[in-house]
Structure 1
Amino acid sequence: MTIPESIKKFIIWIQGFDHCVLRNEDDVKEKLILPMFHYLCYPEICHREYSLKTYQSETDANNPEIAQIYFATDDFKKQNTNTSLIFVEAIEPQKTKLNEAIEQAKFYSNHFKTLFFIITNGYEIKVFQHLHYNREELVFDLNIDTLKNNNVASKFYNQLNFDLVKNIDKNTASILKYTKFNFIENLIVGNPDLQYFLEKCDFEPSITREGCHLVVVKPKVAIACNLPKAFRKGNCQIEFSSILFKGLKIHLNHQDILGQLMTGLYTQPVWGCRRFLKELDKDNFTVNLGQITVILSKLEATDLCLCVDEICQEYQNLIIEFENALETWDFEFVKFSEVRGFILFSVRQELWELMQQFAKEFDYKKGKSDWHLFHREDISIRVSRGIHDHAFIFPKFYSNLSLLPSNQVNIIYELNDINLQSIETAKFSLWQQDIGVRGTWTAKYTKQWLLDKYIPKVINYYSEKSQLSEAEFLAKIKNYSNERVLIKEIDNIRDLVPYLRDIQSWLHIYVENLAALLLKPYYQAYTNLVRNTDSSITGIDYIFGNLRRVEWKNTPEENYSNSTDWKNLTFKYAIDCLDRQVVRINNSEYENSFKADLITRIFIWIIENGKISFSQAQLNAAKQALLPLWQQSRFEMRYIYPNR
Structure 2
Amino acid sequence: MTIPESIKKFITWIQGFDHRVLHNEDEIKEKLILPMFRYLCYPEICHREYTLKTHQSETHTKNPKIAQIYFATDDVKKQNIDTSLILVEAIELYKTKLNKAIEQAKFYSNHFNTLFFILTNGSEIKVFQRLDYNREELVFDLNIDAFKNNDIASKFYNKLNFDIVKNIDKITVDILTYSKFNLIEKLIIRHPDLQYFLEQCDFEPSSTLEGCHLVVVKPKVAIACNLPKAFGEGNCQIEFSSILFKGLKIHLNHQDILGKLMTGLYTQPDWGCRRFLKQIDKDSFTVNLGQITVILSKLEAIDLCLCIDEVCQKYQNLIIEFENALETWNFEFVNFSEIRGFILFSVKQELWELMQQFVKEFNYKKGKSEWHLFHRKNLSIRVSKGLCDRAFIFAKPYRNLSLLPSNQINIIYEINDINLQSIETAKFSFWQQDIGVRGTWTARYTKQWLLDKYIPKVINYYSKKSQLSESELLAKITNYRNERALIKEIDNIKDLVPYLRDIQSWLHIYVENIAASLLKPYYQAYTNLVRNTDYSITGIDYIIGNLQRVEWKNTPEENYNNSIHCKNFTFKYAIDCLDRQVVRINNSEYENSFKADLITRIFIWIIANGRISFSQAQLSAAKQALIPLWEQSRFEMRYIYPNQ
> Which letter does structure 1 place at the counterpart of 2:282?
K
Deviation at 1:85?
3.3
Counterpart for residue 266 of structure 2: 266
1:575 aligns with 2:575: yes
User: What TM-score comes out, normalization by structure 1 length?
Assistant: 0.90
Query: Conserved in 1, the CA contact under 8 Å of 2:73 and 2:79?
Result: yes
How many angstroms apart in 1 are the aligned matches of 2:28 and 2:559? 69
State the partner residue of 2:596. 596
In structure 2, the partner of 1:64 is 64
TM-score, reference length from structure 2? 0.90
The more displaced of 586-595 and 557-566 is: 557-566
Give the counterpart of 1:52 among 35, 50, 53: 50
In structure 2, the gaps of 5 or more residues are none
Partner SS for 1:429: helix
Counterpart-to-counterpart distance in 2, 1:418 and 1:273: 40
Task: Please show how residues 83-232 of structure 1 align to structure 2 within 5 Å.
Answer: 84-131=84-131, 133-141=133-141, 159-160=159-160, 164-232=164-232
Moved more, 507-516 or 534-543: 534-543
Cα distance in 1 between the residues matched to 2:453 and 2:401: 32
User: By how many angstroms is 1:203 displaced?
Assistant: 1.8
Give the unaligned 5+ runs of structure 1: none
Q: For the residues of structure 2 that align with 1:398 and 1:585, how far apart are their CA atoms?
A: 54
Quote how far apart the aligned CAs of 1:505 are: 0.9
Shift of 1:641: 2.1
The residue that corresponds to 1:451 in the other structure is: 451
Q: Give the Cα separation in 2 of the matches to 1:162 and 1:618.
A: 65
**SS of equivalent to 2:237:** strand
Partner Cα separation in structure 2 for residue 439 and residue 106 of structure 1: 46
Q: Distance in 2 between matches of 1:122 and 1:194?
A: 49
**Amino acid in structure 2 at the alignment position of 1:443:** A
Q: Which residue of 1 aligns with 2:496?
A: 496
One-letter identity of the residue aligned with 2:40: Y
Of stretches 453-462 and 260-269 in structure 1, the one that deviates more from structure 2 is 453-462
* CA distance in structure 1 between the aligned counterparts of 2:351 and 2:50, rounded to whole angstroms: 43
Question: Any idea what the Cα deviations from partners look like across 1:495-517, whole Å, max 9, x if unmatched?
Answer: 11111111111111111110000
Corresponding residue SS for 1:418: coil
Closer, same or farther: CA 504–80 of 1 in aligned 2, 3 Å: closer
Q: Is contact 2:113–2:292 with CA below 8 Å preserved after alignment? A: no
- Alignment partner, residue 41 of structure 2: 43
Q: What is the Cα deviation at residue 169 of structure 1?
A: 2.6
Taking the aligned partners of 1:569 and 1:302, their CA distance within structure 2 comes to 46
**Partners in 2 of 1:463 and 1:157 — Cα distance?**
75
Cα distance per residue 1:302-323 (max 9 Å; x no partner): 1111111111111110100000
Separation of aligned partners in 1, 2:401 and 2:418: 32
* Distance in 1 (alpha carbons) for counterparts of 2:71 and 2:199: 42
Contact 1:116/1:130 (8 A) holds in 2: yes
1:188–1:195 CA contact under 8 A, matched in 2: yes
Answer with 316-325 or 148-157: which moved more: 148-157
Residue 624 of structure 1 deviates from its aligned partner by: 0.7
What SS class does the counterpart of residue 215 from structure 1 fall into? strand
The CA distance in 2 between the partners of 1:318 and 1:577, in whole Å, is 40
CA distance in structure 2 between the partners assigned to 1:75 and 1:481 by the alignment:
42
Aligned equivalent of 2:474: 474
Question: Structure 1 488/398 Cα, relative in aligned 2: closer, same or farther at 3 Å?
Answer: farther
Shift of 1:384: 0.8
Q: After alignment, is 15-24 or 167-176 more displaced?
A: 15-24
> Which residue pairs with 1:381 in the alignment?
381
Rounded Cα–Cα distance in structure 1 between residues aligned with 2:570 and 2:74: 63
**Which 10-residue stretch deviates more, 159-168 or 171-180?**
159-168
**8 Å Cα contact 2:238-2:251 kept in structure 1:** yes
Matches within 5 A, 1:132-531: 133-141=133-141, 159-160=159-160, 164-396=164-396, 404-531=404-531
Q: Report the count of equivalent residues.
A: 641
State how far apart, in whole Å, the 1-side matches of 2:156 and 2:643 are.
45
Q: How many Å separate the matches in 2 of 1:487 and 1:349?
A: 37
**Matches of 1:504 and 1:465, distance apart in 2:** 51
Distance 2:197 2:159 in 1: 37
1:193 to partner: Cα distance: 1.6
**Could you tell me which amino acid in structure 2 is paired with residue 498 of structure 1?**
P
SS in 1 for 2:406: coil
CA contact (8 A) 2:525 2:622 kept: yes
Deviations 1:206-244 (A, max 9, x none): 111211111111122211111111101111111222222
1:557-584 per-residue CA deviation (whole Å, 9 max, x = no partner) reads 9946557953222211211111000000
Whole-angstrom CA distance in 2 between matches of 1:247 and 1:533: 63
Q: Give 1:413 deviation, angstroms.
A: 0.9
SS in 1 for 2:420: helix
Name the aligned partner's letter for residue 481 of structure 1: R
Secondary structure, aligned partner of 1:641:
helix
Aligned partners of 1:131 and 1:174 also within 8 Å:
no
Helix, strand or coil at the partner of 2:293: strand
Question: Alignment partner of 2:457: what SS?
Answer: helix
1:78-128 deviation line (CA, Å, top 9, x unaligned): 766555433222211453443442233223323443221122334554322
Q: Structure 1 residue 266: deviation in Å? A: 0.7
- Matched AA of 2:431: W
In structure 1, the residue matched to 2:621 is 621
1:209 match: secondary structure: strand
Provide the residue aligned with 1:641 in structure 2: 641
Bigger mean CA offset, 225-234 vs 48-57 = 48-57
Matched-pair contact (CA < 8 Å) for 1:46–1:72: no
Query: CA 1:314 to 1:51, structure 2 compared with 1: closer, same or farther past 3 Å?
Result: same
Amino acid at match of 1:53: T
Instruction: Give, in whole Å, the separation in 2 of the partners of 1:391 and 1:235.
Output: 28
- Gap change, CA 1:468 and 1:239, over 3 Å in 2: same
Corresponding letter in the other structure for 1:329: W
Quote how far apart the aligned CAs of 1:205 are: 1.6
In terms of mean alpha carbon deviation, does 83-92 or 144-153 score higher?
A: 144-153
The verdict on how the C-alpha distance between 1:95 and 1:425 changes in structure 2, with shifts beyond 3 A counting, is farther
Q: For residues 232 and 401 of structure 2, what CA distance do their matches in structure 1 show?
A: 31
Query: 1:256 Cα deviation (Å)?
Result: 1.1
Larger deviation: 152-161 or 107-116?
A: 152-161
1:534 and 1:461, CA in 2 relative to 1: closer, same or farther beyond 3 A?
A: same
Counterpart residue identity of residue 90, structure 1: A
Residue matched to 2:611: 611
Compared with structure 1, are the counterparts of its residues 457 and 166 closer, same or farther at alpha carbon in structure 2 (3 Å cutoff)?
A: closer
Distance change (3 Å), C-alpha of 1:596 and 1:354 = same
Change (3 A) 1:474 1:164: closer
Q: 2:403, 2:409 within 8 Å by CA — same for their partners in 1?
A: no
Query: What amino acid does structure 1 have at the position aligned with 2:377?
Result: E
Match of 1:440, SS?
coil
Partner SS state of residue 119, structure 2:
strand
Q: Quick one: distance in 2 between partners of 1:331 and 1:114?
A: 39
Displacement of 1:459? 1.6
CA distance in 2, matches of 1:570, 1:354: 63
SS at match of 2:641: coil
1:168: how far off? 2.6
CA positional deviation for 1:336: 2.7
Q: In the alignment, is the contact (CA less than 8 A) between 1:46 and 1:71 conserved in 2? A: no
What is the identity, as a one-letter code, of the residue corresponding to 1:640? Answer: I
Checking the alignment, whether the CA contact within 8 Å between 1:135 and 1:245 is kept in structure 2 is no
The answer to whether the 8 A contact 1:364-1:373 is kept is: yes
> What is the alpha-carbon distance in structure 2 between the residues aligned to residue 600 and residue 9 of structure 1?
63
Q: Percent identity?
A: 81
CA distance in 2, matches of 1:438, 1:563: 64
